[in-house]
Amino acid sequence: MIITVTLNAAIDKSLSVPNFRLGRRHRTVEQRTMAGGKGVNIARTLKTLGQPVIATGFAGGATGTHIVEQLTEESILNDFVRIRDESRTNTSVLDPTTGEQTEINERGPSVSEREVELFRDKLLYLARGAAIVVFAGSLPRGIESDIYAVLIRELERTGVTTVIDTDGEPLRQAVRAEPDVVSPNVIEAEELVGHEFSSEEERSLAVREIAALGPREAIMTLPDGCFAQVLVDGHPCMRRVSVEVRESIAKRGSGDAFLAGYIAARYEGRAPDQCLRFGVACGAESTARLGAGLIDPREARRLMGDVELSEIDLPAKV
């Protein structure tokens, strides 16, 4: 079993508004709502890929009920801690005439210490039947920034594989807790190491630097693939995986699709290079679909043929 953790789960509302202009009144021509938040998106893709997954996290108020109902409707197994405060709704407006997308993300509910404690108990219980736990996304209010770090350390003792995809301070603390895999995008990675990268060499050095902070393996995604320091037969190796950048309809959520593909392959026991290639194919495939976590598995498998992987010399120690 794979567990995805979404502490700041949401209802994602997507509106299609032709000729969208600030300060005007509009009518939507199309509108859809989906349960969201990074971990939820990853769970959706994993389910589509046929992997056993349970989505957990916090869900509160009427929006929380809506999140759980939507997941249940999609047959995505879920087990959320119900909280008093209301889960958030994220709104995105797509103007079909320009292709421009505007997003407004709410801050999210406030979570009490007692609710955090309930979640910790639930996660440790669920993890007993799991091979992989993935933590993804931002934190709601009232939660200490070290929560991912604390949970990763607790899970370490159970032997479950931990994967983390978040940003800012929670990421900084989580990598030091030595998770198995960390997968920031370029911006998150630049923030983590404290400077920008302008060349391929600097990018691979950055991944090396991130891996040196604590995680066993580090993957940095970018629109044309990823850089990754993975363990091959226990030895750290650097990989550059590339795919042709597509004219995308929906870039948002491609990192979630990447991670779901990577985890699905890893759960099946595939070799590290295969996991990276399938992740990149899933990320690329997802950009053709509006709606986070949506992919066509057959198309993703076909795309794997277009994904290139090269071994690069591990840059000198930093």
Among 36, 64, 215, 255, binds ligand ATP (CB under 6 A): 255
If binding is defined by CB under 5 A, does position 255 make contact with Mg ion? yes
Among 18, 223, 236, 297, binds ligand ATP (CB under 6 A): 223
If binding is defined by CB under 6 A, does position 258 make contact with ligand ATP? yes
If binding is defined by CB under 6 A, does position 12 make contact with ligand ATP? no
Long-range contact pairs involving 109-114 (C-beta distance under 8 Å, separation at least 24): 109/58, 109/60, 109/61, 109/83, 109/85, 109/140, 109/141, 110/85, 110/140, 110/141, 110/142, 111/7, 111/58, 111/83, 111/85, 111/140, 111/141, 111/142, 111/143, 112/83, 112/84, 112/142
CB of 199 to ligand ATP, least distance (A): 18
If binding is defined by CB under 6 A, does position 291 make contact with ligand ATP? no
If binding is defined by CB under 6 A, does position 246 make contact with ligand ATP? yes
CB closest to ligand ATP, residue no: 255
Instruction: Walk across the sheet containing 161-165 and list its strands.
Output: 81-83, 53-60, 2-6, 132-136, 161-165, 181-182, 217-222, 225-232, 235-242, 308-312
Percent of the chain that is helix, strand, coil (3-state, to 5): 35, 25, 35
Q: For residue 241, give both structure tokens.
A: 């995986």
According to CB under 5 A, which residues from 174 to 203 bind Mg ion? 185
What x/- string results for residues 175 through 214 when contact with ligand ATP is judged by CB under 6 A? Answer: ----------x-----------------------------
CB of 257 to ligand ATP, least distance (A): 7
Residues that bind ligand ATP (CB under 6 A): 185, 221-223, 225-226, 243, 245-246, 248, 251-256, 258, 280, 283-284, 287
